[in-house]
Each structure stands twice: as C-alpha cells, then as structure tokens.
Structure 1
C-alpha cells in the first residue's frame, strides 16, 4: 500500500518533500504490526518553513471570492468520493477500525467539506446603530490568519477535516500536525486530496512530528490560533503556553461520559445503546460511554444483557468483515486499560464477561461492583470497558453523572420523555442525548464540551464562524470629524 508520492515526506508549500533532517516514522498495520508505508517527521526548520509559506498564501486566499473557496472544498469532496475505497483500506490498516467505522469517517468528512463550502458564503456582518450623527457603523468578520491544527489518531480523517474545511472556507490557512500514529490518513493523504483538487499552494501544510513539532507550532509568533483535539493532559499544557502568548486556542479534550438508564427503559434497546456507546471502535473515542449509571431495579437484568452483547462481539483483524472490534491502537494504550481494570478488580470489582484476547486485541468487558473512587470510574478509559454502577433514584443518577470534572456528552434512556428531559436539562455536559447513544456527531451541530472536556468554542455549523474568524468593528464618518485638539 506504499505510496511513492508521500513516502518519507512532508507536505510544505504545495509540495511533498523530504524533511530537513530526513527523519521518518514507520506506519504500521495495527492488527498485524506490519510496516506498510513510511512518513516523514518534521523538525523545527520544517515547521518554520510551513508557517512562513502558509502566512504568505493566506493573504491571497482571504481575498478570493467565496465562490472560489467553496469550489475548492467541493472539489476536495469529489476527489475523496472517488478515492473512498483507498481511504477505507487505509483507515482500517492505520487506525485498526472496522470497515463500517471507516465508511462513517469518509462520509462524515465529505459532509464537513460540503457544509464548509456553504459556510464560505454565510453573511458575516451587520449594520450597527450609531450615536454619532452621520456615522456608518458596521461589524464584520475577518480570518484569524494561520491556524495551527493538531489532530488525534482515533478519527484522523474526519476530525482533521472538521477543522481544516471551515478554517479554509473562512479565508484562513492551515498548518496541520497529525498524530504520529496516523500521519497518512490524518495528514499526508488529505494533502494529496487538496493537491488533486487544485487547491492553491501554501493554504494547507502537513508536518507530521513528535511533541517538539507541536510545541513549535503553539509557540510560533506567526500562528495566531491553535486548535487541538486530544487528551485533557496535553490540552492543559497547550492552554498554559498559548495563554502566556495571548493566543487564541480551541481545545476539544477528553470525556468520561455517563449513560443513565432509568428503571422504565426498554432493556433490549438500552443494552444495544449501551454496548455501542462503550465498545464501538474499541472504546477509543472521547464520546464513548465510560460510566453506566443504572437504576437498581433493573441493574442485574441490564448487566446480564449487556454482557451477553459484549460476549457476542467478534474481535480480530478488521479486514475480516465479520469482526466487530479490531486491535487497540498501540501496546501502551492496551497496557493502561488492563492496569485500570486489574486495579478495579483488586479493589473488589467483578468482570462479568468472558475474558480478554491477546495483544493487540482487547475483548469488551462489563464490570460491576465498581466504586466512585476507582480510576476505572473517575478517568477516561479509552478501551472497550463498561463499568456499571447501580443507583436508587433519578436524583442520585443525576448527582453521580455530574460528579466528574469532565463535561463532554451524556445520555439518558427512559420511556418517559418528561422524566428524561428533567434529568437531561440538569446534566453538566456540552452535549446531551435522550434515548440515544453517547457517540453522535453532525456537521451542523455545535460539538464540544465544558470543564476538562474543552476550552474555546464549538465545532460545527455557525459555531465555526466564532472559531475561525475575529469580529471587527468599522466606522465611516460622513464628513470631517471635529475634536477639541
């Protein structure tokens, strides 16, 4: 599957080229550990060149008509549709996902491009009243400039496009540092889409790299905005640096999301939603349900049916279309999840599913007798583990759900909509779903969290106007102005 176009390369100033230090990183099939390609690794000189090129290109790009910018994004969407089979195989191999998840990513990324194309022509100004006779006063929006973007490995194509597309639509340039786990599907293959679509050189740059590359991007004086999607720990570090530089920052961070199951919920529906919420893509998403809060009257039945669903999932190489869960992203993530599970069991928790598979695979686990002090309950797990805690009332369910520093997404399952809405309205989360799974995303919806789950604005729809532009006030005097001196 090696591609000579980007093999051992970066993407700078519209060209695939070798890194200045000629450093590389092997790209491995997550199920087999076989190397199938090699990407370039940027150093600081590469970052500086990419930013300089982006800053120069952005000035012209911002002057293009909205129709020109929209046409580029629509053409990228068309190229992506043509190359969907390639991206499907790439995502399966590079991220370890099943085919259905890869299909979702391709479709969602295409939707982001089309929605962003429409964003380019959205009205961005308003006429303001003025207390000065004859003054014409308006408010409009201007591009931020160069947006430094750092994306994660779990949904590299769509989480990249969710930022790249609207930022470009609104006249910005983008310098992207994809995760070292997914430098191709999260960066270099995206760059090739823009090249094939005829995008102007320089408006989009890709510099795969390690921590020092991300830090240079955050600190660079010609990058006025940083958008980061990833862990809360790294998000805090970025916020500290960006804050010291008075730089605009948008952080989409982790979550420890609650799935509340009330005693009147349909158990078949609830356990289907619960299984999908915790086990899809090996539990490796920020919107996975990490806490199942179930009312005591139905807790035993819920656990039994959820465990049966978990045990029925086929775990293995995702190139096999019968597989429901593929490999963990790397041994470090697998070891961390196993450690958290072992700690909980040592403290009295019980695993009620059949057991785990050998590395790199991790069988889905349902865990009971957890306490609110266990790391398995308090921290983001990022593995296919479903801890279940029984509660005695709606009020207790709400209190337990809100007892978290995170605030990304929660779900409430019930047959009584009024009852569910009463809880939903009191949940401390940026997103709440009633009678549906925690993993939801639409290009038009304001996606994002509060607390430890996010800082900045929201992704999606009109929220992108606030993310990737600055408001500007402009006045025009009707005649000569007169002041005391």
Structure 2
C-alpha cells in the first residue's frame, strides 16, 4: 500500500523532508475541491542541494553494471503493477481524471520504463578508422550528460515525468524533477517513492515541489545540469529555451499543439467520427495531442457533423469517480476562465456553437463550433479543454493549407480509404507526427515523439531519448609513433 501522506514532502538527497521555504502549497481535487496534500515549498537552496546530491550520486551510478541498472528499472515496473489500484486512485483524485484515463496513464508509464530498462545495455561505443593515419584508431564512447533537470505538466504528470526521468536514469544520469504545482504527487513524489522502492541509490533522483515564484529560473540556470527537459505551454517553453541557451545547456521542449483532424471524401465516416471524439474529448481535451480542428470536405460535411454532434452530446459529464463519466473537470478554475474567454472570442468572430453544454464547477461541458473560417484569430489558439472547431474545405490541397495555417505543429490525424493518397497528403502537413485512420493522440515508447514550429524542439522515446540524455566522447589511439613536421 502506497503511503500518500508521506508524499507531501520533498525528496532531496534520498531523504523525505519539508522544503525550506515559508510558503505552503495546497493540493486540491479539481472536481470537489477536497484538500489532498499540503506541502512546504522548496526554496532556491533546496534546488541547489538537490542538484548537488544528484551530481554526487551520479558519479557512482555511472560505474554500476548495466545488469543492475536494468534490474532497478524492472523493479520499478513490478512495484507499479503491484500498486496499480492505489496509483490510479491518486491520479483520479489529484487530476480529476476518470478511471479509464488513470489506467491508460499507468499503462503508458509501464511501457516507458520497460523501454528505458534496455538503455543500460545500449550505452555502447564504436571504433572508426582514421582518414589521415593508418596507425590511428578512433574510439567513440557514449556517455551520460551528468545531471538532467526535468519539468513536467499537470495533464499526464505521471507519464510525462517518467518519459524523461526513466530514460535519463537508465542512461546513467542523475535527475532533479520539478512537477507542476497542481500535481506534485502524481508527477513527482510518487515517482520518487516508486524508484526508492525499486532500489535506486539515494540522491540520484530528487523531487522539488514548489512555485516558480519561489525559485525563479534556478532550476534551469543552475550550473550543474547539462540538459533541461520540459513539457508544458509554449510561452513557458520559449522562456526555458532562452535561459538554457544563455547557459549553453541542451533543451528538449515538448510544447503545445493546435492539431488538425483531416477527413477525406472517401473515408469511413463512422470510424472517423469515433476517432475524432476520442481525439478531442479524452481527459477533457487536456492533452497536447488533442485535435482542436476538424477539417472536412463539402461532400461529407453534413453527414459527419450530424453523427459527430450526436455522439458528443451523449458524452457523460461530471464526477470522474463515476465509471461512466467521460468529461471530468479541468485542472483548476483559471483553466475554466481562460477557456470561456476563448469560447466568447470565437462567438464574437462568427463561429456558431452547435453544441454548448455549459459549466458546472470546473466541469466545462463540450463545445462544438461550426461556420468556422481559417482566418478567424481564435482558431490560432490552443484549446486545452473540450472545445473543437469544424472547418469546411473544397479540396485536398485546401485541407492541407488549412491544417498548416497554425503556429503549432505537434500531431494530427488523417482519414481515408486510400492509404497512399493519405500518406502523400500527410507528408505535406508540417507537423512532427500524424496518424492515418487513427486518432491524433498516440505515444509509442520506441518511436520519435516531438513537434515543429511552436510545438517544441527535439525528439524523445527509444533511441531518440538515448541520444537526448547522452553525449559522445572521441578518444583516438596512436598505435605507432607519429612523425610531426617540426619535431
């Protein structure tokens, strides 16, 4: 049984303790406002202590055998599986997530750690001949960066923290993790508990729970970490990238999305409708890969819209503890207010809400907009909520043009019965990922994940994560004395 009361603490240097700030953070259930935890926030001195601990532990961790490292990763998987129900429960309580979403997130985490467990044996080097000297041997070694700083978001905090934490640890790095302030347990201390139980050496993974107003940029500009992995909003990501760049640190940024869901005139409409509902309304639309814009040709527009709105209208909204609920609460009141402002802006610009369910507490019921034009300014924004816009086009070429009319480029989907036609069009959509005859929400631990434009920099998962959290060192060996020109 997981002791969640203990998880109110910071985890620094292998010790559970309060932060040294005077500020207290209240962690509340976004559906019923029940208090889950109260945390004494970390200060800048705690950040420094965490980085110092990670750096010290990493020097010994790098020498640990690949077999032992793999064993610890496997132990983490076993612990999660044994405590699945407890973990799912805290995800539901802290995020306002449904049971379906919680179980889905736990499954993603398990698969990610399983993939990371292969990393210790993949820290291999190579030998290359010299182009200038037949007696020289060039050895290239793969080495850890040292310490990685990770900042995770509130929407899939367990998974999106582990997505960086597990590969970074498995490739011999130390880690300092800062979860979002609304999900300090699911995105932070629960992960520390899992790896502590798995046998990870003390000090190697540290969790800092705090407000940015308390620590400023210290997590990013601290001299110890050589890489920063951030998942979150584009404005914050741009700032982190700027700070990291000034300090010559690598920055891996997975940011927002304004993803297009394209349906061609030969598509299976019923399948496309189901995929579109899943792609927009899973976890209340609080997913960077969610489909904001549905793009339809004139020939199928009316049929699709009728079937889509009928299905959306049937989605149950309310208490996420109810197993039949699909739409639970947004993470906090601020998100509700920001969403309503964008909905009001859309209506002012001429979009027609053909579904508009209203608001109850933090539950924002689905909104579906028709009569949407590509030049409306609101359509350029990312809705992190159950709101979707439907646009009509007259050709495949216009569909691609409308899809690309966005400052973002993270994910997308395209439906057609002609896979080759779909593939050729998909290649023209400027996005990091796009899925044919599927939803826009997908993440595979072995396939490159990431976006273009305002959706981020870099790729994670599989060998891309291995590259992200390691560097290479060239060591040459001169086997016979070299003749120098002025010896």
TM-score by shorter chain over 0.5: yes
Equivalent residues in 2 for 1:268-307 (5 A)?
268-307=270-309
Post-superposition Cα deviations, 1:332-352, rounded to whole Å, max 9, x if no partner, equal 111111111111112211111
Count of aligned residue pairs for this structure pair: 483
Query: Is this contact kept in 2: 1:117–1:169, CA < 8 A?
Result: yes
Post-superposition Cα deviations, 1:318-369, rounded to whole Å, max 9, x if no partner, equal 1111111110111111111111111111221111115223121011111101
Equivalent residues in 2 for 1:149-164 (5 A)?
149-164=150-165
Partner of 1:91: 91
Q: 2:345 aligns with which of 343, 353, 357?
A: 343
Say if 1:28 and 1:449 are closer, same or farther in 2 by CA, change over 3 A.
Answer: same
Q: CA deviation at 1:477?
A: 1.3
Q: CA deviation at 1:21?
A: 2.3
Partner of 1:325: 327
C-alpha separation between the residues in 1 aligned to 2:405 and 2:319? Answer: 37
1:30 partner SS: coil
Partner of 2:26: 26
Q: CA deviation at 1:271?
A: 0.9
2:228 partner SS: strand
1:281 partner SS: helix
Say if 1:344 and 1:232 are closer, same or farther in 2 by CA, change over 3 A.
Answer: same
C-alpha separation between the residues in 1 aligned to 2:422 and 2:134? Answer: 54
Partner of 1:462: 463
Equivalent residues in 2 for 1:174-253 (5 A)?
174-212=175-213, 213=215, 215-253=217-255
Query: Is this contact kept in 2: 1:177–1:214, CA < 8 A?
Result: no
Partner of 2:121: 121
Alignment partner of 1:263 is 2:282: no
C-alpha separation between the residues in 1 aligned to 2:291 and 2:377? Answer: 15
Equivalent residues in 2 for 1:332-371 (5 A)?
332-371=334-373
C-alpha separation between the residues in 1 aligned to 2:413 and 2:323? Answer: 29
Partner of 2:62: 62
2:388 partner SS: strand
Partner of 1:41: 41
Say if 1:319 and 1:257 are closer, same or farther in 2 by CA, change over 3 A.
Answer: same
C-alpha separation between the residues in 2 aligned to 1:209 and 1:308? Answer: 43
C-alpha separation between the residues in 1 aligned to 2:281 and 2:260? Answer: 14
Query: Is this contact kept in 2: 1:25–1:38, CA < 8 A?
Result: yes
2:360 partner SS: coil
Say if 1:351 and 1:80 are closer, same or farther in 2 by CA, change over 3 A.
Answer: same
2:121 partner SS: coil
Alignment partner of 1:391 is 2:393: yes
Q: CA deviation at 1:421?
A: 1.2
Q: CA deviation at 1:479?
A: 3.5
Query: Is this contact kept in 1: 2:227–2:251, CA < 8 A?
Result: yes
Query: Is this contact kept in 2: 1:146–1:174, CA < 8 A?
Result: yes
1:6 partner SS: helix
Q: TM-score, with normalisation over the residues of structure 2? A: 0.97
Alignment partner of 1:410 is 2:439: no
C-alpha separation between the residues in 2 aligned to 1:45 and 1:73? Answer: 30
Query: Is this contact kept in 2: 1:290–1:385, CA < 8 A?
Result: yes
Alignment partner of 1:135 is 2:136: yes
Say if 1:123 and 1:242 are closer, same or farther in 2 by CA, change over 3 A.
Answer: closer
Q: CA deviation at 1:22?
A: 4.5
Partner of 2:315: 313
C-alpha separation between the residues in 2 aligned to 1:280 and 1:52? Answer: 40
Query: Is this contact kept in 2: 1:311–1:354, CA < 8 A?
Result: no
C-alpha separation between the residues in 1 aligned to 2:296 and 2:304? Answer: 8
Q: CA deviation at 1:4?
A: 3.4
Query: Is this contact kept in 2: 1:431–1:447, CA < 8 A?
Result: yes
Structure 1, unaligned runs of 5 or more: none
Q: CA deviation at 1:375?
A: 4.0
Q: CA deviation at 1:286?
A: 0.4
1:382 partner SS: coil
Over the residues paired in the alignment, what is the CA RMSD in angstroms? 1.4
C-alpha separation between the residues in 1 aligned to 2:344 and 2:421? Answer: 37
1:442 partner SS: coil
Query: Is this contact kept in 1: 2:135–2:479, CA < 8 A?
Result: yes
Q: CA deviation at 1:200?
A: 0.2
Q: CA deviation at 1:373?
A: 3.1
Q: CA deviation at 1:481?
A: 3.7
Partner of 2:172: 171
1:473 partner SS: strand
Q: CA deviation at 1:270?
A: 1.1
C-alpha separation between the residues in 2 aligned to 1:364 and 1:115? Answer: 36
Q: CA deviation at 1:2?
A: 7.5
Post-superposition Cα deviations, 1:99-118, rounded to whole Å, max 9, x if no partner, equal 01100111110111111011
C-alpha separation between the residues in 2 aligned to 1:111 and 1:376? Answer: 37
